Chains A and B, each alone.
Chain A
């Protein structure tokens, strides 16, 4: 068993900051919030590989950088492949440096899926983190494979017709030693999961829900609240899979038993404004189905 540092309070998370002040992130940004805890968990012997996404923008303009850690920016489709070369080079020279891909949902579910699948299949020793704001945020909120049904984006002005792609099922099919979901609204949980992921040799994956105030159209002080509502409504389920064994977080277990109504999660978000009853019902059914599927999987074990 992997022993984990027990973290009862957020005060026990290291004081070191790797995401410094003066990022160009929007107010209430989940990307920088999540990254702050990811890097605290990973520590200084880490290289971040970043494809085109909000993170390539918020780190600042050359010659400045707001991240106190080496960041290698790479083309959109290439993050996992680049990390795969980097990890092999570090291991070939006896270095234990963590190689972490920090990519958005576009770079993960869509344009980057091929290189990511290849890197997982080859057993690359790295951690792949997808921070998911459910659209192409960097270019101004166009739909992505991660956009939920009914959500309006600039390329789905009347709401997305197709359902969100289940990237976690795709990752699970690669049988990585460790994979998890997390949310920027639960930083302690994210911190623990990153620390744990980095103890495994081989590929690990963390899928982080990252609510986006301008993209989802809610006011900036509500980022954490919306993230918590995603979990409490059962729309986002926090869990981890260690060598295939599923463990659902207590917060999500409670939510799965008595979810807050989906309306409470959708109502504060402008992107769901005017969602029709049929789409809403389909979304709700997806949610129920997903809860059943994960509960059954956990019960089986």
Chain B
């Protein structure tokens, strides 16, 4: 069904389609509309979920964990400080192998208070064992939320999935949205370790070093296995509903001499920059990274690489730039841009490519010129 929706509304529409048994969430700007829309769907009866209006994000994730371990679908949404506040429990959800799905509306971290887009919030969760995907359009936010449940619940994965969408520049932007009937795209959930009073077991108790080590490895093994499951799920989604995504969205990369890598809405902006540069005769391409975890093997051999990071690891560098540099075993031009919702136009992005200095790091809006 065709409609017009914001990124937030698209996420809520996807949740309505999935009908999780339990939803627990706490409002935070700019995620609030997801929570409000879900509450409306619940009160109108369109969404049959039990909605728990928890008193904090820490409790939101704890409630999802408590519900999920009984073997039912759960969902939550948060942003920024909310995500950091639940950090203890995001680790718990992954360690307990629970397929919780969460939308995170990317926003910067204080102080000072800044409610605009930045990826630092989710980046601080990247080592928790969650799968992370970053979307760039309203339709993609919807489609990816649907796929997230199937991927998380697949018994070769059983890890939580975080769907990231940029605060305001996607959460509050209106675009066309085509909703679907998922049908048997999403099979019934089966949690092999669900709590069963008829078969009592201890969960998450004291664990010695040897066993703990095995559990950690098991998370990594599933993370590796999830590559295949993501691929299968995305292909099946494309077959059924006609929309294809993948680990990266590549735009004019095949014959490109230089490729700019980014995530989220900046990746869409970059495509406009590529069109501009192509008209100037520059053979440039854009690679928008969708899945940050598991981190895919990127095909960038023989290209010059420019990376935009909407995040920063102090004392180290842009997280994406450093990751790509390590994987490709080559220097990149690292651009730090868009922090705290800083405006980055396609013209700015074209400039990053035109004036690239491989091996250097550039803070857009801080250093005078590229």
**A residues near B, CB below 8 A?**
44-47, 49, 56-57, 59-63, 65, 67-75, 77-78, 80-93, 95, 97, 114-115, 117-118, 121-122
With A46-B197, A70-B196, A89-B21 already in contact, the answer to whether A115 and B59 are too (CB < 8 A) is yes
**CB interface residues, B 30-61, toward A, < 8 Å:** 49-50, 52-56, 58-60
Shortest Cβ distance from residue B57 to the other chain A in the assembled complex, whole angstroms: 10
List chain B residues, Cβ under 8 A from A114.
Answer: 55-56, 59
List chain A residues, Cβ under 8 A from B72.
Answer: 89, 92-93
Chain A residue nearest to B74 in the complex (CB): A85
Shortest Cβ distance from residue A81 to the other chain B in the assembled complex, whole angstroms: 3
A159 to B75, CA, bound (A): 47
With A85-B22, A86-B70, A118-B56 already in contact, the answer to whether A73 and B204 are too (CB < 8 A) is yes
* Inter-chain contact A62/B66, CB cutoff 8 Å: no
List chain B residues, Cβ under 8 A from A88.
Answer: 22, 50, 52, 63, 67
A171 to B3, CA, bound (A): 47
With A71-B205, A74-B92 already in contact, the answer to whether A81 and B70 are too (CB < 8 A) is no
Task: Judge if B207 is at the interface, Cβ distance under 8 Å.
Answer: yes
CB 8 Å contact bits of B327-343 with A (1 = contact, 0 = none): 00000000000000000
A17 to B202, CA, bound (A): 16
A122 to B88, CA, bound (A): 23
With A62-B205, A70-B200 already in contact, the answer to whether A84 and B195 are too (CB < 8 A) is no
Given A44, A60, A93, which contacts B202 in the complex, CB threshold below 8 Å?
A60
With A47-B197, A85-B63 already in contact, the answer to whether A73 and B58 are too (CB < 8 A) is no
* Inter-chain contact B70/A90, CB cutoff 8 Å: yes
* Inter-chain contact B205/A73, CB cutoff 8 Å: yes
* Inter-chain contact A84/B69, CB cutoff 8 Å: no
* Most-contacted residue by chain A among B49, B202, B206 (CB, 10 A): B202
* Inter-chain contact A67/B67, CB cutoff 8 Å: no
* Inter-chain contact B205/A59, CB cutoff 8 Å: yes
A68 to B201, CA, bound (A): 7
* Inter-chain contact A93/B206, CB cutoff 8 Å: no
A68 to B89, CA, bound (A): 26
* Most-contacted residue by chain B among A80, A85, A93, A114 (CB, 10 A): A85
List chain A residues, Cβ under 8 A from B68.
Answer: 85, 89
Chain B residue nearest to A88 in the complex (CB): B50
With A85-B63, A93-B70, A115-B59 already in contact, the answer to whether A61 and B54 are too (CB < 8 A) is no
* Inter-chain contact B197/A85, CB cutoff 8 Å: no
Shortest Cβ distance from residue A40 to the other chain B in the assembled complex, whole angstroms: 15
List chain A residues, Cβ under 8 A from B204.
Answer: 72-74
With A81-B63, A83-B66, A84-B63 already in contact, the answer to whether A92 and B197 are too (CB < 8 A) is no
With A86-B70, A92-B22 already in contact, the answer to whether A62 and B54 are too (CB < 8 A) is no
* Most-contacted residue by chain A among B50, B52, B74 (CB, 10 A): B52
With A114-B56, A121-B55 already in contact, the answer to whether A59 and B66 are too (CB < 8 A) is no
With A82-B65, A85-B74 already in contact, the answer to whether A71 and B202 are too (CB < 8 A) is yes
Q: Tally of A-B residue pairs with Cβ under 8 A? A: 156
A88 to B22, CA, bound (A): 7
* Inter-chain contact A117/B55, CB cutoff 8 Å: yes
Q: Could you list some 29 contacts between A and B, CB below 8 A?
A: A59-B202, A60-B206, A61-B208, A62-B208, A71-B205, A72-B69, A74-B65, A75-B88, A78-B62, A78-B89, A81-B56, A81-B58, A81-B63, A82-B63, A83-B66, A84-B62, A84-B66, A85-B22, A85-B64, A85-B65, A85-B68, A85-B74, A88-B63, A89-B70, A92-B21, A93-B21, A97-B197, A115-B56, A121-B55
Chain A residue nearest to B201 in the complex (CB): A70
* Inter-chain contact B66/A89, CB cutoff 8 Å: yes
Task: Judge if B15 is at the interface, Cβ distance under 8 Å.
Answer: no
Given B54, B58, B202, which contacts A65 in the complex, CB threshold below 8 Å?
B202
Given A47, A67, A68, A118, which contacts B195 in the complex, CB threshold below 8 Å?
A47
**4 closest cross-chain pairs (CB), A and B:** A85-B63, A85-B66, A118-B55, A81-B59
A54 to B131, CA, bound (A): 33
Given B55, B62, B200, B208, which contacts A82 in the complex, CB threshold below 8 Å?
B62
* Inter-chain contact A86/B67, CB cutoff 8 Å: yes
Task: Judge if B367 is at the interface, Cβ distance under 8 Å.
Answer: no
Task: Judge if B203 is at the interface, Cβ distance under 8 Å.
Answer: yes
List chain B residues, Cβ under 8 A from A115.
Answer: 55-56, 58-59, 62
List chain A residues, Cβ under 8 A from B205.
Answer: 56, 59-62, 65, 71, 73
* Inter-chain contact B54/A84, CB cutoff 8 Å: yes
List chain A residues, Cβ under 8 A from B200.
Answer: 44, 67-71
Shortest Cβ distance from residue B79 to the other chain A in the assembled complex, whole angstroms: 19
List chain B residues, Cβ under 8 A from A93.
Answer: 21, 70, 72
List chain A residues, Cβ under 8 A from B60.
Answer: 81
Shortest Cβ distance from residue B97 to the other chain A in the assembled complex, whole angstroms: 13
List chain A residues, Cβ under 8 A from B122.
Answer: none
A90 to B22, CA, bound (A): 10
In addition to A72-B69, A84-B24, A118-B54, 17 A-B residue pairs with Cβ atoms within 8 Å of each other are: A56-B205, A60-B202, A61-B205, A62-B211, A70-B203, A71-B200, A71-B203, A74-B66, A75-B92, A78-B58, A81-B56, A81-B59, A81-B60, A82-B62, A85-B64, A89-B70, A118-B59
